[in-house]
């Protein structure tokens, strides 16, 4: 059994309607945008959040011997080959 570092990348999407009072539609959209970035819609965002894309990539392996992380394309831990430990 090996220990891997897996990079998880999720693309998420939220769609919801909000009611905003404003003099025109541009102002309404601007108010909505600010509210998003000020976390005012955090509950709406969480409630409607959907994962639209996902990616899982193992990039690193954690060495059993020394605990260092090294690239999965390496044959063996470069730290252990460079500085061999006595058994």
> In the complex, which residues of this chain contact Zn ion (CB under 5 A)?
63, 65-66, 77, 79-80
CB-nearer residue toward Zn ion: 22 or 66:
66
* CA distance between the termini of the chain: 20
CB-nearer residue toward Zn ion: 27 or 76:
76
Tell me the closest approach of the beta carbon of residue 61 to Zn ion, in angstroms: 10
Tell me the closest approach of the beta carbon of residue 76 to Zn ion, in angstroms: 8
Residues facing 13 on adjacent strands: 50
Tell me the closest approach of the beta carbon of residue 77 to Zn ion, in angstroms: 3
- Cβ 70 vs Cβ 78: under 8 Å: yes
């Amino acid at each position: 059994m090996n220990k891997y570092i897996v990079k998880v990348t999720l693309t998420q999407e939220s769609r919801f309607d909000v009611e905003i009072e404003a003099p025109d539609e541009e102002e309404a959209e601007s108010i909505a945008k600010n509210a998003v970035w000020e976390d005012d819609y955090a509950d709406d965002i969480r409630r409607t959040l959907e994962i639209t894309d996902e990616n899982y990539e193992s990039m690193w392996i954690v060495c059993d011997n020394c605990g260092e992380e090294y690239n999965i394309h390496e044959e063996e831990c470069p730290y252990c080959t460079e500085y061999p430990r006595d058994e």
